Amino acid sequence: MLGHLIEQLRPKSAVHHVRSIYEPVHETTCERMEEQLDALHALSRRGLWGIVLFMAVSAAALYGSSSGLFSLIPAEVREMVGEGPPPAALYLVLAVSWLSSFVLIIGRRGGDGQPGYCWYNVGLPTVFYPLAIFTQEAATLFPVVFVAGLILLLLEHFTVTSYASRAIRETTARLERIRKFQ
């Protein structure tokens, strides 16, 4: 089992199909590879939007919490929603959701396929901000949620960016070899 895990974690080629130099190469192949390079460059930057969105939602939640904006919620709404969950339950659910997202991100890192961005890694931590409004632990829960979400998003961005940079290097090398033999 340990050997299987080590094999899964070993870096793999980002470009799966290696063309023999003896196969005929057409101009469309070079064009497709250039399009693939453009797509990989776009993929490497796409995760920054999720980080910016998460930081904006976090800033709005922090501002609303520290300015007392959420204390303006009518009592009828607070009664309808009910009392918030106990802080220990919030921390436990946050830890379980963080750990499951962490395992999924790391699992995609070791896989053969192209990793991508998942918007639930932005949405999952932000779900805890409204829950923090109705608990007594809002002052300590906000930083914990912010750090947990930011770590997940940065790890996901690193995973995708490292894949994209490796694929860009390999595709560029293949493209240079093809052009050299043409």
Q: Give the pLDDT mean for 36-59.
A: 87
Residues in the chain: 182
Model pTM score: 0.73
Of 149, 172, 168, 170, whose CA–CA distance to 160 is shortest? 168
Query: How many Å is the Cα radius of gyration of the chain?
Result: 23
Share of residues in the chain with pLDDT > 70 (%): 80
Is a pLDDT exceeding 80 seen at residue 48? yes
Would you give the distance in Å from CA 81 to the centre of its chain? Answer: 31
The structure tokens listed for 162 are 């490292």
Domain ranges of the chain: 28-181
103-151 pLDDT per residue, tens: 888 887 776 677 777 777 788 888 888 877 777 666 778 888 899 999 9
CB 44 within 8 A of CB 159: no
Of 65, 91, 72, whose CA–CA distance to 145 is shortest? 91
Own/partner pairs, 145-151, CB within 8 angstroms, 24+ separation? 145/58, 145/94, 146/58, 146/62, 148/94, 148/98, 149/54, 149/58, 149/121, 149/122, 149/124, 149/125, 150/51, 150/54, 150/55
At residue 65 the predicted structure's pLDDT band, cuts being 50, 70 and 90, is: confident
